[in-house]
Structure 1
Amino acid sequence: MLYSERLILIDPVMSHLNRYFEIYGDPDTNVHNPFGPLPDIATALRNLEKFMDHREKYGFGVWAIATLENPDTIIGFGGLSYKRYNDVEKLNLGYRFDKHSWGKGYATEFAKRTIDFAFNLPDISEIFAIVRPTNQSSIKVLEKSGMEFLENLSDVPGLEASLVYHILKATKH
């Protein structure tokens, strides 16, 4: 477990499956996701298993996120995972919060805590994030977290390029 001022980050377990599907299967939390919400619980299960495998392999990964005030209610999922940016694998910061948790600063608090965590691990000197250009809320989160725009990435055929943000350990604020 990891803590921030208001959040608790919990290693994901199978009992989080339904909550994961509720959040990632919600059309509202996928407004900026060109692939849309998760279609079914089986897809959610495969994703959760990938999160758990990544954590076992690398010693870090995605967390289930709750508030310290209410630690039994998962409000989101997020963390670090290796992700392909077209042909290159990079350490990616990602998150998704339940729509009822939006606008409370949780995403920024989470992102800052995750960056601090990562830069205290050996051999991690750069973190990336991909965001759709229409997702102004997430762009603000990344910028408030010290990340800077790096480049455009044509990762979804037929759509405007995604924005790639990054932060270097040496330049972390």
Structure 2
Amino acid sequence: MRTPRLLLRRLQAEDGPAMFRVHGDPATYQYSPESVHRSLAGSEAMLRLCRRHWAEHGFGYWAVELAQDRTIIGFGGLEQQRWHEYTVLNLYYRFTPSAWGHGYATEMARTALQLAQAYLPSLPIIARIRSANLPSQQVALKIGLRRLPEELEEPGYYIFASEYPGWSRRERREGIGE
């Protein structure tokens, strides 16, 4: 998949070192330092899980490359997951800090959202975002996701979603989740 500036491609077995460069950098995880990958083996384990999702579902998280030079600057996309009692598409984006502030996460996330709406319209999209991670929250809002009501959130996280089957008409009318 191409966007104006990015190449979004299926993960490959040899992406482990690039995944570790992104996920093993403590600066990447400033909002969740406990999640930093401590070794290449940890990143390769994540890569295997992501590739298994691709094999089972035909889609998944991408390696995100700059189209001009094919440099991997991050990983992101959608995976089907269970969240509470719902099957959802989890929106994920993790970029190297040098790529922050250029709109790449928004460009990738918007593309993932558009593809999901075209090919998997019955599944809601969610993004679980640390409450302190304002830049990530801004990405979710820019692509049209809305914050869910507090009672649906998890400790330390805000949940942003596309249309959510649990929202009542009253909640929408009163603007809960905006």
TM-score (norm 2): 0.84
Q: Which residue of 2 aligns with 1:161?
A: 156
The residue type equivalent to 2:65 in the other structure is A
Task: Give the unaligned 5+ runs of structure 1.
Answer: 155-159
Whole-Å separation in 2 of the counterparts to 1:55 and 1:124: 19
- Residue number in structure 2 paired with 1:40: 39
Aligned to 1:82: 80
Structure 1 CA distance for aligned equivalents of residues 27 and 59 of structure 2:
28
Aligned match of 2:171: none
Q: Which residue of 2 aligns with 1:100?
A: 98
Partner residue in 2 for 1:133? 131
Distance 1:117 1:14 in 2: 24
Structure 1 runs of 4+ with >6 Å offset: none
Shift of 1:103: 0.4
Q: Which residue of structure 2 aligns with residue 64 of structure 1?
A: 63
Identity of aligned residues (%): 31
Alignment correspondent of 2:148: 150
CA contact (8 A) 2:29 2:35 kept: yes
Gap change, CA 1:29 and 1:145, over 3 Å in 2: same
C-alpha RMSD of matched pairs (Å) = 1.8
User: How many pairs does the alignment contain?
Assistant: 162
CA contact (8 A) 1:8 1:66 kept: yes
Which residue in 1 is equivalent to 2:23?
24
Q: 2:88–2:123: 8 Å Cα contact kept in structure 1?
A: no
Partner Cα distance (1:34, 1:22) in 2:
15
Which stretch of structure 1 is more off in the superposition, 46-55 or 87-96?
A: 87-96
Confirm or deny that 1:54 pairs with 2:53.
Answer: yes
CA distance in 2, matches of 1:41, 1:124: 36
Partner letter of residue 164 of structure 1? I
1:89: Cα distance to partner? 4.6
Secondary structure of the structure 2 residue equivalent to 1:119: helix
Distance in 2 (CA, whole Å) between partners of 1:161 and 1:135 is 10
Bigger Rg, which one: 2
Answer yes or no: is the 8 Å Cα contact 2:129–2:158 preserved in 1.
yes
Distance 1:151 1:54 in 2: 29
Within 2, Cα distance between the matches of 1:87 and 1:78?
Answer: 24
More helix, by proportion: 2
Contact 1:142 1:165 in 2 (8 A): yes
Greater share of residues in strand: 1
Residue 53 (structure 1) shift: 0.5
The separation in 1 between residues aligned to 2:120 and 2:97, in whole angstroms, is 34
